A and B are shown apart, each in its own frame.
Chain A
């Protein structure tokens, strides 16, 4: 795919990379090139070999014999993570690997402060250098603020600054935008462009195809450890890229239907809570998927929390099936028939270290009791089995920790947990965060089926494409107020985005 003139300018050139783990071929004869100063995207579903490839380049794993790796024209043999870092190869993992209680400056200058031998650090000097790096990135951050006082987006910038402090010439970013809002993402992409203009090559791993196409000049697609191809992003569409990644055709069409004749399930009338949401009125009908989009901070999650009793509205009414409800806790909401899939699957949606079985049955323990008031293990097994089959969750055994599952399968377990409560209203708050493209389609197929069975669904997401394709109606929220309602069949992604980011 690359011509010779580009090869001479390659920052990284890999040929014939193979890696096998316990009989599983994680990488099979993969080639991968990154040009100097290029923004290159590495795309593929979970388990396709992206992380393995990054770990080989950074010396965490050793490739099998026959691999050829060159870095700015020099052979890259037998490297270790320390050598890789010293030569300017940096990785920013999704968890950032920063120190929450240390200051911004200390985090940025961290590598200067540690070393093989004990020595005195020069905090003043390090602080100055950290400030320079931030200026180079064109951002202003309080150097003395403890890291945990910053939002995720700014921590991301600190991680980038830390890589630059080590004179990185090639930076891998693993899903850097997964927990960022659209405007924060835009800011990050701007920084990435700046790095690229400075001659730093950036390899970008992301599940969000729109931003892949926006930022990268080329995209390398992996599937099941094999190279599918290297493509210019010019002229590439999200649908085609999704197809290349998954090997299957994904539904990328508007699925909206008119449900205005169905009886209302949820009616919200003039709901307000100071500083969070104001005078919100909306209706969701039986079998309807109502999309709610807008910037993060617009009050969407706060509104959802008010519906499930995690927050008390100060005025207004909520009616469920025509009857006014005032849930005071999430338990009240569950009893009323409202289920809430949290935006934060890792720390609120599931109890990660515990079993799939326990996570599925946690919401309906009351129904699993036998005559003596003890939990019936037979009934519990049946319930878990039923939902695993119903939602086609791919698992080893129900006793495995839920953390062993992929993002998509974890989200199915979350859905199973809530569907088991037999809700009438399902609130999905950013249900595809950290879920890869193929699995997203699977989740939305389930959502559509549930709607067809009569469930009322509130779909909250800041990914405009997602709400537009999967909701029957779309509401736009800004600064705590509902601004507009759209029919997905009569609007486009561009029009809606223009309105939201205006």
Chain B
């Protein structure tokens, strides 16, 4: 048991229990919750939020934040859209899609790289830097699209957004693959190790020989790349791109990180609990929706839920420290 806890992290089992609880409660409340249709729609809705949360997670682990994720995703989506449109829109081939994807990821990476360089070498606070980048990208995007939608994509975009492989929706596959890569990156690579150390104490990390500036630069660059993937997925799901799409998700990604046990001050946290936290949030919103609740009510429930989890963590902390003192 203790070995399992160690392998999974202390947050995983409680969150898993909570997920089961939420699913059981909704399954009892409405027979429509555990249907293929509902599960399918959850599986299609989760990935965009999930990918954006992965983009938020690593900057938070390093003691920072990336407020620009939504507009990085939007601008990357726009880039893909323009490439597709210039190759004929609905008639664009796979080559155009591949080119557009590469260009979109490059745009995401570039916007991240700029933030990373400023954070690492100028030493500005990530909140300020990413806020500036967010406003810049939003303004730039709205200027170039005149606030309108861009649509008219080839069929391959439908496969990305709505297709499935062996019954598993493609967006979910993309998200799970990304989450697995994130897990390995954080737990098993030098970069991941550096992220945790930089998040705890960047000066001591530098004195220990870690290349902290390169680590910070890479963190924001990779964050921008995963934003681009999210942006492509959004374009595929809505079959259109508009600057401002997904704006409401920005703070939800922060919520999911904290719900998943990421230390708000950096240095501690894992991917798996965050994935579970995302599933809980998705189950709550879908379940309430099926019960006929208003979308706004489910947002309110998310907030309450995080407060409840914080209180619960505090209570568990008190309990374990008392037990430790008594033994």
Contacts and interface: CB of A to CB of B under 8 A. Distances in A.
Contacts of A349: 204, 207
Nearest to A352: B201
Interface in A390-423: 399, 417, 421
A365 B190 CA distance: 7
Interface stretch (B16-24, B82-90, B192-200, B221-229): B192-200
B203 A348 contact: yes
B207 A348 contact: yes
Interface stretch (B97-105, B163-171, B208-216, B312-320): B208-216
A412 to B, nearest CB: 16
Q: Which A-B residue pairs are the 10 nearest by beta carbons? A: A374-B188, A362-B208, A351-B201, A351-B204, A348-B207, A351-B200, A334-B209, A22-B325, A365-B190, A363-B209
Contact of A373 (B189, B197, B210, B267): B189
A322 B203 CA distance: 31
Interface string B29-62: 0000000000000000000000000000000000
A417 B209 CA distance: 11
Contact of B208 (A23, A329, A363): A363
A21 B190 contact: no
A140 interface: no
Interface string A19-39: 001110000000000000000
13 contacts: A330-B207, A330-B208, A342-B207, A348-B203, A348-B207, A351-B208, A353-B268, A362-B197, A362-B205, A366-B190, A375-B188, A375-B193, A417-B208
B327 A375 contact: no
Interface string A342-359: 100001111111100011
A171 to B, nearest CB: 30
A348 B205 CA distance: 8
A278 B6 CA distance: 53
A444 B122 CA distance: 41
A417 B271 CA distance: 28
B197 A374 contact: no
Contacts of B188: 374-375, 377
- Majority DSSP secondary structure for residues of B touching A: helix
B184 interface: yes
Given A358-B196, A365-B190, A365-B193, A374 B207 contact: no
Contact of B209 (A22, A351, A362, A374): A362
A55 B205 CA distance: 35
B218 to A, nearest CB: 15
A377 B6 CA distance: 13
Given A330-B206, A348-B207, A349-B207, A354 B326 contact: no
A349 B207 CA distance: 7
Contacts of B326: 22
A331 interface: yes
B200 A22 contact: no
B325 A21 contact: yes
Given A330-B209, A342-B207, A352-B201, 13 more contacts: A21-B325, A330-B208, A331-B211, A340-B207, A351-B197, A352-B204, A353-B200, A358-B197, A362-B193, A362-B205, A362-B209, A374-B188, A374-B189
Contacts of B206: 330
A309 to B, nearest CB: 10
Interface in B245-270: 267-268
B210 A362 contact: yes
Chain A binding surface SS class:
mixed
Contact of A351 (B6, B184, B205, B325): B205
Contacts of A363: 208-209
Interface residues of B, number: 25
Contacts of A23: 327
Contacts of A334: 209
A353 B201 CA distance: 9
Contacts of B190: 365-366, 369, 375
A370 to B, nearest CB: 9
B200 A354 contact: yes
Nearest to A21: B325
B56 to A, nearest CB: 22
Nearest to B198: A351
A350 B209 contact: no
Contact of A350 (B189, B193, B204, B325): B204
Contact of B267 (A354, A375, A377, A399): A354
Contacts of A421: 209
Nearest to A374: B188
A350 B200 CA distance: 10
A363 B190 CA distance: 11
A75 B206 CA distance: 54
B263 to A, nearest CB: 9
Interface string B285-327: 0000000000000000000000000000000000000001111
B196 A354 contact: yes
Interface string B174-194: 000000000010001110010
A349 to B, nearest CB: 7
A359 B326 CA distance: 30
A374 B186 CA distance: 10
Contacts of B201: 347, 351-353
B302 to A, nearest CB: 29
Interface in B84-126: none
A7 B8 CA distance: 61
A399 B6 CA distance: 10
A358 B195 CA distance: 12
Interface in A73-115: none
A376 to B, nearest CB: 9
